[in-house]
């Protein structure tokens, strides 16, 4: 671009646009975009300092090279090449005529034509060319172009491949002018108008706006160069339609129009790239929705498990406490019935009292306590196994769904999720398959018994919790019934026995309270600790997956906000261009 023609405001805007676009490019490097896409934006930014670029596209044999030669008034390009030898050709100004074959798919042609000091032209091999290297046109030059001349042939206007290519160009937001070449083969003006109407109507449908359409005959325009007189030359050129196209390029696209196109083109490439990034973001957001649902479901399972344990444990512990309450009540009744003057001689016989106490009070309390504790253990083991089964089932279903629906060429994030699903699901299934309910119950029982024996009231070595408790109960009861000696009862029976009975009952109640509180506190803390350990074990296995999913959710949301911010920058730049150009016209 000849910057000497720019005002100070335009120069400042140009620098601001390049700076903003470079910042956008740096931001987009963190997104999952191809190197080619990023390179297109890089080239579009560089293009701000280049000459006006026209890219000529269309099907092979549409007459693109002939059209360029006709526009330049010289036979600059070779015509009639085969699809296998055609290549992308950049035509630019040079002091000498030259052709440089860069590689099989690309060449540079120079020519000392004055028009080429104002613009560069790219000739393409054809939308239906068979050489894959010709994709260089779409991937490199169309994004950098200021104007696209879309050439279609009058005998085959807007073929299927041309329509597809037109849609692809549209995605880049380029200024598109449609040229119907070979108009001389049509029989009359009516036929020419019908073809032009057909092309305009269909192109408008594809582009969403009515494009400029020119009917030309490149062959007639070239004949004009060889005409003997200027009158004949002008007549042939006028009949060819090339003059109207040239006028559009050289007059309609004046300095202001060229500047507007030049400034807008990189914005179009940036918008295209942002749209690509947004599509990736939307796609990943849709992909992760099932994982977010599963993650929430797994966390819900753990929360329900924790809530159920907290709600169900107290009533189950109360069943053990009820056994102790029943024991205490029977003990109080026994003291009332036994510590009487009528039984003064029995009170002096400890062995007899012990036997009665064990038969009437203790009874099967040891078996009851053991049964309640075993029931508690079975309940906790079953709850634990059930939640593992739920988690395993949910993961297995997600794993199967992932294998069915995940694309073959998945993104790194998608592949990471698949790996985590597979890893966590495999681990959970292995744990469930190896789960030995009997062994787990035995281990938990041993853990509970060990916790009970470590309290101050109990000594190690007893067989079961019930036996431990029963031993303490019997000892405490016999301690209080043995506080009255036979001699004291014989001498002071009428006064001492009621007092001693009251004393014995209070002491028995206090010791039962101590026993009950210690046992229930030990059982409660033990089962809570074990249930929390079970939850933590489950959490530790699923956390790598759930944490990653939540992290991905946050990342995608942050990326979405970044893209919206970047698009806002482009929109702001775009809105500033008309004001900049209006000021210049004044």
Give the CATH number of the domain where residue 171 resides.
3.40.50.300
Specify whether the CB–CB gap between 182 and 217 falls below 8 A.
yes
Rounded distance between C-alpha atoms, residue 107 and residue 273, angstroms: 28
- Domain-terminating residue out of 544, 565, 581: 544
Question: Do both 224 and 296 map to the same domain?
Answer: no
The confidence score (pLDDT) of residue 178 equals: 92
| Tokens, residue 205 | 């449908």
Mean pLDDT of 217-239: 77
pLDDT in tens, 307-325: 998 899 999 999 989 988 8
The confidence score (pLDDT) of residue 356 equals: 79
Asked if the structure places residue 420 within a domain, the reply is: yes
Question: Do both 300 and 223 map to the same domain?
Answer: no
pLDDT at 119 exceeding the cut of 50: yes
75 three-state secondary structure: coil
Question: Do both 312 and 251 map to the same domain?
Answer: no
| Tokens, residue 204 | 């408008």
Asked if the structure places residue 585 within a domain, the reply is: no
Domain count, the chain: 2
Question: Do both 187 and 336 map to the same domain?
Answer: no
In eight-state DSSP terms, residue 431 is H
Mean pLDDT of 354-362: 78
**Confidence band, pLDDT 50/70/90 cuts, at residue 566:** very high
The confidence score (pLDDT) of residue 484 equals: 46
Question: Do both 107 and 233 map to the same domain?
Answer: yes
User: H or E segment at 334?
Assistant: helix 255-338
The confidence score (pLDDT) of residue 571 equals: 92
Specify whether the CB–CB gap between 90 and 107 falls below 8 A.
yes
pLDDT at 130 exceeding the cut of 80: no
Question: Do both 79 and 217 map to the same domain?
Answer: yes
Question: Do both 245 and 353 map to the same domain?
Answer: no
pLDDT in tens, 55-97: 888 887 788 888 888 888 778 887 766 654 567 888 888 888 8
Mean pLDDT of 126-133: 59
Tell me how many degrees the CA angle 360-482-354 measures, rounded to the nearest 5: 30
Mean pLDDT of 169-181: 84
348 three-state secondary structure: coil
pLDDT at 548 exceeding the cut of 70: yes
Alpha-carbon dihedral sign for residues 221, 225, 228, 234: positive
Asked if the structure places residue 577 within a domain, the reply is: no
Residue of 232 and 419 predicted with greater confidence: 419
The confidence score (pLDDT) of residue 2 equals: 31
pLDDT at 563 exceeding the cut of 90: yes
Residues, the chain: 586
Question: Do both 259 and 291 map to the same domain?
Answer: no
**Confidence band, pLDDT 50/70/90 cuts, at residue 406:** low
Question: Do both 241 and 340 map to the same domain?
Answer: no
Q: What is the dihedral of CA 254, 259, 264, 266, to 10 degrees?
A: 130
Asked if the structure places residue 31 within a domain, the reply is: no
Mean pLDDT computed over every residue of the chain? 79
The confidence score (pLDDT) of residue 420 equals: 82
Domain range spanning residue 138? 51-266
pLDDT at 286 exceeding the cut of 60: yes
The confidence score (pLDDT) of residue 314 equals: 92
What is the DSSP track for 476-532? Answer: HHHHHHTTS-HHHHHHHHHHHHHHHHHHHHHHHHHHHHHHHHHHHHHHHHHHHHHHH
Among residues of the chain, what percentage have pLDDT more than 90? 9
Question: Do both 242 and 349 map to the same domain?
Answer: no
Asked if the structure places residue 558 within a domain, the reply is: no
Mean pLDDT of 242-247: 84
Rounded distance between C-alpha atoms, residue 319 and residue 334, angstroms: 23
Asked if the structure places residue 302 within a domain, the reply is: yes
pLDDT in tens, 473-491: 666 655 655 544 444 444 5
Q: Where is average pLDDT lowest: 18-32, 173-187, 257-271, 355-369?
A: 355-369
The structure tokens 């950049």 sit at 90
Question: Do both 174 and 291 map to the same domain?
Answer: no
Asked if the structure places residue 328 within a domain, the reply is: yes
Question: Do both 363 and 485 map to the same domain?
Answer: yes
Asked if the structure places residue 46 within a domain, the reply is: no
């Amino acid at each position: 671009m000849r910057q000497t023609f720019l005002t100070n405001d335009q120069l400042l805007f140009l620098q601001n646009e390049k700076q903003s676009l470079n910042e956008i490019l740096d931001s987009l490097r963190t997104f999952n975009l191809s190197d080619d896409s990023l390179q297109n934006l890089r080239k579009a930014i560089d293009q701000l300092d280049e000459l006006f670029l026209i890219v000529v596209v269309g099907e092979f044999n549409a007459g693109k090279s002939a059209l360029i030669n006709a526009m330049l008034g010289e036979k600059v390009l070779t015509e009639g090449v085969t699809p296998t030898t055609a290549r992308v050709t950049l035509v630019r100004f040079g002091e000498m005529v030259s052709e440089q074959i860069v590689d099989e798919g690309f060449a540079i042609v120079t020519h000392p034509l004055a028009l080429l000091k104002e613009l560069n032209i790219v000739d393409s091999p054809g939308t239906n060319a068979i050489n894959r290297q010709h994709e260089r046109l779409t991937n490199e030059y169309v994004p950098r172009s200021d104007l696209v001349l879309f050439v279609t042939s009058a005998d085959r206007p807007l073929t299927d491949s041309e329509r597809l290519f037109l849609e692809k160009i549209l995605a880049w937001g380029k200024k598109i002018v449609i040229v119907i070449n070979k108009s001389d083969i049509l029989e009359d003006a009516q036929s020419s108008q019908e073809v032009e109407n057909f092309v305009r109507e269909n192109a408008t449908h594809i582009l969403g706006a009515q494009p400029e359409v020119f009917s030309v005959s490149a062959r007639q325009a070239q004949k004009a160069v060889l005409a003997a007189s200027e009158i004949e030359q002008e007549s042939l050129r006028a009949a060819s339609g090339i003059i109207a196209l040239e006028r559009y390029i050289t007059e309609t696209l004046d300095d202001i129009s060229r500047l507007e196109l030049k400034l807008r083109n990189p914005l179009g490439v940036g918008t295209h790239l942002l749209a690509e990034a947004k599509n990736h973001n939307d796609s990943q957001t849709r992909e992760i929705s099932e994982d977010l649902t599963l993650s929430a479901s797994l966390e819900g399972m753990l929360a329900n498990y924790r809530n159920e344990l907290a709600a169900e444990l107290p009533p189950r512990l109360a069943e053990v406490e009820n056994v102790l309450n029943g024991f205490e009540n029977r003990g109080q009744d026994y003291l009332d019935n036994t510590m009487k003057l009528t039984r003064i001689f029995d009170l002096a016989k400890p062995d007899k009292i012990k036997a009665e106490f064990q038969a009437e009070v203790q009874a099967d309390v040891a078996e009851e306590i053991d049964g309640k504790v075993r029931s508690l253990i079975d309940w906790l083991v079953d709850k634990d196994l059930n939640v593992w089964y739920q988690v395993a089932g949910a993961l297995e279903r997600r794993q199967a769904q992932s294998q069915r629906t995940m694309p073959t060429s998945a993104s790194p994030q998608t592949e990471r999720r698949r790996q985590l699903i597979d890893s966590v699901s495999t681990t959970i299934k292995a744990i469930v398959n190896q789960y030995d309910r009997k062994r787990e119950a035995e281990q938990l029982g041993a853990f509970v018994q060990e916790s009970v024996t470590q309290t101050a009231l109990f000594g190690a070595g007893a067989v079961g919790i019930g036996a431990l408790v029963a031993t303490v109960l019997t000892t405490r009861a016999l301690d209080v019934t043995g506080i009255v000696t036979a001699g004291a009862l014989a001498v002071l029976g009428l006064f001492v026995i009621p007092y001693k009975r009251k004393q014995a009952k209070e002491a028995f109640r206090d010791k039962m309270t101590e026993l009950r509180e210690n046992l229930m506190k030990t059982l409660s803390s033990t089962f809570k600790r074990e249930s929390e350990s079970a939850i933590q074990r489950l959490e530790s296995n699923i956390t790598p997956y759930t944490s990653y999913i939540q992290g991905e959710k946050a990342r995608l949301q942050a990326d979405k906000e970044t893209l919206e911010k970047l698009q806002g920058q482009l929109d702001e730049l775009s809105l500033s261009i008309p004001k900049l150009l209006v000021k210049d016209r004044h």
